[in-house]
Amino acid sequence: MGRSPCCDENDLKRGPWTPEEDQKLVHYIQKHGHASWRALPKLAGFNICGKSCRLR
């Protein structure tokens, strides 16, 4: 048992974050907050895992 996967790992972006992605994440969190890290990437327009956003 455990949680279901939060995202489809086949289509995820991998590698280092770009400065533009950092700024987009910061701007989104400042405007909307981070109520759910699992939902944040989809809402903010990222194709990455919520854990990556949380750790960033």
The gap from C-alpha 37 to its chain's centroid, in whole angstroms, comes to: 7
**pLDDT for the residue numbered 1:** 61
Query: Per the confidence metrics, is the pTM higher than 0.95?
Result: no
Q: How many domains does the chain have?
A: 1
- The secondary element (H helix, E strand) that includes residue 22 is helix 19-32
CA 6/CA 10 separation, integer angstroms: 12
**pLDDT for the residue numbered 51:** 86
> Amino acid identity of 30?
Q
SS3 11: helix
Look up tokens 């972006």; give the residue.
Answer: 13
The answer to the question of residue 23 being in a domain is yes
The answer to the question of residue 11 being in a domain is no
User: Mean pLDDT of successive 10-residue segments in the chain (56 residues)?
Assistant: 66 85 93 88 88 88
33 lies in which domain range?
A: 18-55
The answer to the question of residue 41 being in a domain is yes
C-alpha pair distances (Å), 28 with each of 14, 16, 42? 20, 19, 12
